[in-house]
Each structure stands twice: as C-alpha cells, then as structure tokens.
Copies of this chain bind each other. A is one copy, B any other.
Amino acid sequence: MPELRKDPITGRWVIISTDRARRPSDFTRATVEPTGSRFCPFCAGNEDKTPPEVLAYRTDGLTHGGRWSLRVVPNKFPALRVEGDLDRQGEGLYDRMNGVGAHEVVVETPDHMATLASMSERQVAEMIWAFRDRVVDLKRDKRLRYVMLFKNHGEIAGASLEHPHSQIIALPVVPKRVQEELDGARKYFEFKERCVYCDILRQELKDTERLILETDEFAAVSPFASRFPFETWILPRRHESHFENIREAEVLNLAWVLRSILRKMDRVLEKPAFNMIVHSAPVQEAATEHYHWHIEIIPKLTRVAGFEWGTGFYINPTPPEEAARFMREAGLS
C-alpha cells in the first residue's frame, strides 16, 4: 500500500510509493564527471575573465594576485543588481520593484577537476567560511532581507560551468518557501514550545531508521516526508536560527559531514548531479527559538512531472528508510 506522509514543518503531504519502490541502480542517471575540455574563466590564470573578486582566501598572505585557494566574484550575468533603489510601485492590481540585490559566485578551488566530494576537508571548510563571510558582509546592506546559499552540481542540476563553484543570491524579499518554513516552524513552536527541528533530531537519533550519520555537532538524515529519492538533510545539533552564527568547531565538523554525505552519494548513486541549499533565517531578523538552520541536498534522479509544479504534491518512489540504509552502508572512501 502506498503511504501518504506529512512534513511536520510545512504540512506538505508526500506519496511514498512503495509499489514503485526502486533500488538506486533503477534510476536513470547522468554521472557527472569533469572533462576539463573547454576554456574556463574560473581556473587559476584566468582571474581577469571574471569581475573583480569580493573575497578571496590566499595561502601566501597576499591580498591580491598570488595563489588563491578560493575566490568569490560577482556573477558576470547577474540576476540582480546591487545599484539603485527598490522603487516599489503598483500597476493596476500588480506590484513590482527593481531587481536590487547581489548575485555572486564562490569559486571553491583553483582545481577545475575537483568536486566537493574529492576535495580536502580544509577546502570544503573554506567554502563554508566563504558562505559565512559573505552573509556577514551582505547583511550590512539593510535592503537585503534574505541570502540564498546554494550549489548546482552537474548540468542537469542547472550548473552551466563545470569548475567547482556555488552561488550566493541576496534578495530584498524573503522567498515564499522560506517564509512557509519559518511560519510552519513558528506554529509548531507556539503549540509545543519546542523547536520542530530539535524534535526531529531527537526522534531520528533515537529511531536511527532514517539516520545516515551523526557526529558531535551534526546529524544527516533522510527526512520522513522526503519529496525526492535520497533527499538528505544535514542538521546542526546546536539550536541556531542563522547559519552565519556557525562556530569554528562546527565549520570543521560540517566540512567532514558534507564531504562524507557527498562521497556516499557518489558511491550509491554513481556521481549524481545534485542541488544543495542552505536553509537559514532571514538576515535582518533576530535569532529565534523556533527556526533552525540546516542544509538540504537533493540528487537529481527523477524528472519532476507536471502536477508537482502545479500542486506542490510529490510522489517519491524510494522510501527514505531504504535511502538511509543504502547511504549508511556505503563507505566513505
């Protein structure tokens, strides 16, 4: 019998389709392997092919030029622009404003052929530091209410360049799905006086059926109402609403957890394309007891069909308990 499951945060129902249950090898997949064949603006030596950097980490202590290990540059084709006023206006019943915001690219390493799974832990930690440093800087601009930190890996996940990179989009509005998560978490808190994510952590660490791995600082789980096969959430054990308040020990630990999850995914799903998104509270809002930042990773294995767009209703052919078992059993090497 297929099962309907409800996400405890947003209230979204998902069909877990046991009749269609599939093993990892049953998915149509496109393995993502860097080819390095084309000219790449993100490779070392081509720094002049990107706009001037807004942040860089260097190993030689220089502030410009020299050898960098990570760079953050404005997107050459930005979806939003930093200059100008919001200039909110109506047009009949419609509302519009200028696309003020920031759109930046984190070049995670000079090594074109690397992936987050194959990089050193130190390098993954630098990406996390860069995310934090950019949020701390961007939030000083009071027009910007939300900072999206995300990575598209592989062409079918939306990456247009193969050099390892992630993206930062700072927005003058709070995106709708984010607001729903915040509202759902607040409602749960009002009812229970506990954080829903803390409750999920406790239950998953106790049940262990959907637990992939745990460390002193984090736990990785296949969520109870997973929308997608092998959807994976990484949750910090310490309650904290804002990602940018991450502590040094957590950064290092998260680098290990993130790399481990991606290595396991590479093994189980043969180097899939994936999307990774940091979910965090709006940057201009104070710390809250009800929201809890976390990371969601979604490997691109299935096609999203029409009704999923139109209704927000998902059919997931892989029970999360099965996904977690495959992920647990996969080695890290």
A80 contacts partner chain B, Cβ-Cβ < 8 Å: yes
Query: A207 and B78: CB pair below 8 A?
Result: no
What are 25 A-B contacts defined by CB distance under 8 Å?
A1-B81, A1-B99, A3-B98, A6-B94, A6-B95, A8-B93, A8-B94, A15-B99, A17-B79, A93-B199, A93-B200, A94-B225, A148-B313, A150-B307, A152-B305, A157-B303, A158-B304, A158-B305, A177-B310, A177-B312, A275-B309, A275-B310, A277-B310, A279-B310, A304-B304
A10 at the interface (CB under 8 A from B): yes
Other than the known A175-B312, A276-B306, what 14 A-B pairs have Cβ atoms closer than 8 Å? A1-B81, A1-B99, A2-B80, A4-B97, A4-B173, A5-B95, A8-B93, A13-B175, A20-B79, A150-B306, A157-B306, A167-B307, A177-B312, A277-B311
Task: Render A121-133 as a binary contact track against B, CB cut-off 8 A, 1 for contact.
Answer: 0000000000000
Nearest-neighbour CB distance to chain B for A168, whole angstroms, equals 10
A185 proximal to B (CB < 8 A): no
Q: Does A272 contact B (CB under 8 A)?
A: no
Point out the residues of chain B lying under 8 angstroms from A2, CB to CB: 78-81, 98-99
Question: Which residues of chain A (236-291) have a CB below 8 Å from chain B?
Answer: 275-277, 279
| CA gap between A283 and B176 in the complex, in Å | 26
Which of A's residues lie within 8 Å of B, judged by CB? 1-6, 8, 10-13, 15-17, 19-20, 77-81, 84, 92-99, 148, 150-152, 155-158, 167, 169, 171-173, 175-178, 180, 196, 199-200, 203, 207, 224-225, 275-277, 279, 296, 298, 303-307, 309-313, 315
How far is it, in angstroms, between the C-alpha of A207 and the C-alpha of B93 when the chains are bound? Answer: 12
Partner of A92, one of B151, B203, B313: B203
A29 to chain B, nearest CB (A): 15
Whether A77 lies near B306 (C-beta < 8 A) is: no
Residue of B nearest to A317 (CB): B79
Q: Which residues of B contact A79 (CB under 8 A)?
A: 2, 15, 17, 20, 315
